[in-house]
């Protein structure tokens, strides 16, 4: 009897770059075992995920055995399409949220002729648009887990009307969303308006799959947000967080996550970026091949295939910038430096462009690893501070949102990492005069962390002059420090809701809400 083989041991994975892990796994899967050669179609080590994907003109979502490793499911081909229900619908803006929207979804089995219907009324879905198919095959990387075939479908809509509600349904041969039996599957979205006005957006990181994650989703829906920002560590299919160590990666968790999130993401654009748990080494050298199969994001930053979590968009009077902090992290270094500085140079240019736009009042940046946090788990990442905080100060960014630490924490207004002005709960702060507020919103649903000092939040204030903590220095060492900027700390599941006002006195009214809906912090940013 064969001894069960496991991919990359955690102790080894933590010392390998993502390209090294990718090469290791591909070479490991090619090695013959005493049970014989691996089945035909296992990908070559040099294959990059995404090669050989079926395009928008494909007639079926069934992948053929090929060098790309997307294997057929012969049993699935015999299932009547009427019995295969789409699930996991999720939206994302295109480069211009006024006229562009991407609709993505999943089917559990191969289907023929997948498509999207869209129209201005739920009973008149006259337009029928062929879907792009991005199948994803994950082999058995552990004796504990089976091989998994997943089928993701995407339609990118353009030339939409600004400020307009559209209705849509997704289907395939045998399953028509316009059929009376399937009208319950019809969803809707609204494009961004031409003119700035008041609106709400929400944000968090580190969601995963849990009852608390589901509770947060429902409270978010109650805020009626026009979009949602997810600051990385999306579903935790990779539980190690070091990049994929093969015996901890379970691709099926993505099915659970997309099903859990559908009630919100099918109507609210779900704008994600990458965390350390989102590096999945099997699919591509830098670990983002799986993300590219599952999501359609705006692009416009770096190479979208290589860095899908780097992009920007504008909604009303707010410019939003998404970053991939794996590129600059001192703590988790599997992808540190993978863009060779290109992301930081792009960030400098993009922030400058947004600040020159007279129609933009506020610039919000979100990414995973924290610039400023005091938890006992990850605390602050010195790599983020060194690379990006000077640029945030230079371009007068208004709000920075992070995840990574599974708590809520909020700083005072900072310039150069020092307090420019204390910002007690309920106070207003000028991002131009006083500095930038940094928010850790990592309480989306994954198991909570703790602080080295007591919590301090609305209705339970326990202000401290200083907090002992640390940050991750170059080389991955912990450097202790005592900080004065930790103003609000809440150990609980929560998220951000930001009410945006335009006009002669623009503002961002920022609230932190617990999964119960109770407010734990609020403050206002003005310019």
421, 424, 427, 429: CA torsion to nearest 10: 20
438-486 per-position pLDDT tens digit: 999 999 999 999 999 999 999 999 999 999 999 999 999 999 999 999 9
**Which residue did the predictor score with more confidence, 284 or 65?**
284
Q: Is the pLDDT of residue 74 over 70?
A: no
Q: What is the pLDDT of residues 322-334, one digit of tens each?
A: 999 999 999 999 9
CA dihedral 446, 452, 454, 458 (to 10 degrees): -50
pLDDT number for residue 147: 93
Q: Is 256 helix (H, G, I), strand (E, B) or coil?
A: helix
Q: Comparing 31-35, 223-227, 315-319, 415-419, which segment has the lowest mean pLDDT?
A: 31-35
Pairing, β 467-472 against β 380-381: parallel
Residues 438, 403 contacting (CB under 8 angstroms):
no
Residue 54 contacts residue 61 (beta carbons within 8 Å): yes
Instruction: Tell me what pLDDT residue 196 has.
Output: 83
pLDDT at 247: 63
pLDDT value, residue 195: 87
16-73 pLDDT tens trace: 898 988 888 888 777 655 443 333 333 332 322 332 222 333 333 333 333 233 334 4
Give, for 463, the enclosing helix (H) or strand (E): none
> What domains can be seen in the chain, in order of their start residue?
44-188 (2.60.40.380), 195-526 (3.60.21.10)
The answer to whether residues 277 and 234 touch, using CB atoms and an 8 Å cutoff, is yes
CA angle centred on 512, ends 90 and 210, rounded to 5°: 50
The pLDDT tens digits for 342-372 are 999 999 999 999 999 999 999 999 999 999 9
Position 32 scores a pLDDT of 59
Taking only the tens place, the pLDDT of each residue in 301-325 is 888 889 999 999 999 999 999 999 9
> 374-392: per-residue pLDDT in tens?
999 999 999 999 999 999 9
pLDDT per residue as tens digits for the range 421-443: 999 999 999 999 999 999 999 99
Instruction: Specify the higher pLDDT residue, 104 or 142.
Output: 104
Task: Tell me the pLDDT band of 183, cut-offs 50, 70 and 90.
Answer: confident
Q: What percent of the chain has pLDDT over 90?
A: 77
The pLDDT value given to residue 300:
82
Q: What is the C-alpha separation between 332 and 325, in angstroms, rounded?
A: 10
Whether this prediction's pTM lies above 0.85 is answered by yes
Backbone angles phi, psi at 184, to 5 degrees: -65, -10
- Is a pLDDT exceeding 70 seen at residue 109? yes
Name residue 304's beta-bridge partners. Answer: none
Give the per-residue pLDDT at 10.
65
């Amino acid at each position: 009897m064969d001894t069960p083989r496991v991919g990359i041991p955690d102790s080894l994975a933590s010392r390998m770059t993502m390209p090294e892990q990718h090469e290791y796994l591909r070479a490991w899967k090619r090695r013959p075992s005493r049970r014989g050669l691996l089945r035909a179609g296992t990908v070559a080590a040099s294959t990059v995920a995404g090669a050989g994907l079926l395009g928008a003109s494909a007639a079926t979502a069934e992948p053929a055995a090929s060098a790309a490793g997307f294997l057929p499911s012969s049993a699935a081909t015999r299932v009547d399409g009427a019995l295969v229900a789409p699930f996991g619908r999720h939206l994302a803006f295109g480069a211009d949220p006024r006229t562009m929207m991407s609709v993505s979804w999943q089917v559990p089995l191969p289907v023929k002729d997948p498509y999207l219907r869209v129209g201005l009324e739920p009973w008149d879905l006259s337009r029928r648009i062929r879907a792009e198919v991005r199948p994803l095959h994950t082999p058995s990387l552990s004796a504990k887990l089976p091989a998994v075939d997943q089928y993701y479908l995407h339609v990118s809509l353009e030339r939409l009307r600004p400020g307009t509600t559209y209705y849509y349904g997704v289907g395939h041969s045998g399953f028509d969303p316009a059929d009376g039996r399937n009208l319950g599957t019809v969803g809707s979205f609204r494009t961004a308006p031409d003119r700035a006005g008041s609106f709400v957006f929400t944000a968090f990181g580190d969601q995963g799959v849990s009852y608390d994650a589901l509770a947060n989703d429902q409270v978010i829906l109650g805020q009626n947000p026009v979009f949602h920002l997810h600051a990385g560590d999306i579903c935790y299919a990779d539980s190690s967080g070091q990049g994929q160590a093969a015996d901890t990666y379970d691709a099926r968790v993505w099915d659970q996550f997309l099903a859990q999130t559908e009630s919100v993401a099918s109507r609210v654009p779900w704008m994600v970026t990458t965390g350390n748990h989102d590096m999945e080494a099997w699919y591509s050298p830098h670990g983002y091949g799986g993300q590219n199969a599952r999501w359609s994001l705006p692009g416009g930053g770096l190479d979208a295939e290589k860095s899908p979590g780097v992009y920007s968009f504008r909604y009303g009077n707010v410019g939003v910038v998404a970053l991939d902090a794996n590129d600059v992290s001192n703590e988790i270094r599997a992808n540190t430096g993978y863009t060779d500085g290109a992301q930081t140079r792009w960030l400098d240019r993009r922030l400058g462009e947004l600040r020159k736009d007279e129609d933009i009042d506020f610039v919000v940046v979100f990414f995973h690893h924290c610039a400023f946090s005091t938890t006992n788990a990850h605390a602050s990442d010195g790599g983020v501070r060194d690379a990006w905080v000077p640029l945030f100060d230079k371009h007068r960014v208004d709000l920075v949102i992070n995840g990574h630490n599974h708590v809520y924490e909020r700083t005072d207004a900072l310039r150069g990492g020092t307090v420019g002005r204390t910002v007690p709960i309920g106070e207003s702060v000028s991002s131009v005069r006083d500095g930038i507020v940094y928010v850790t919103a990592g309480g989306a649903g994954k198991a909570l962390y703790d602080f080295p000092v007591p919590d301090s939040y609305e209705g339970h204030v326990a202000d401290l002059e200083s907090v002992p903590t640390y940050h991750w220095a170059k080389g991955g060492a912990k450097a202790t420090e005592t900080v004065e900027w930790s103003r609000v700390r809440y150990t609980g599941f929560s998220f951000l809701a930001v009410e945006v006002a335009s006009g002669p006195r623009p503002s961002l009214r920022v609230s932190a809400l617990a999964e119960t809906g109770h407010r734990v912090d609020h403050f206002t940013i003005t310019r």
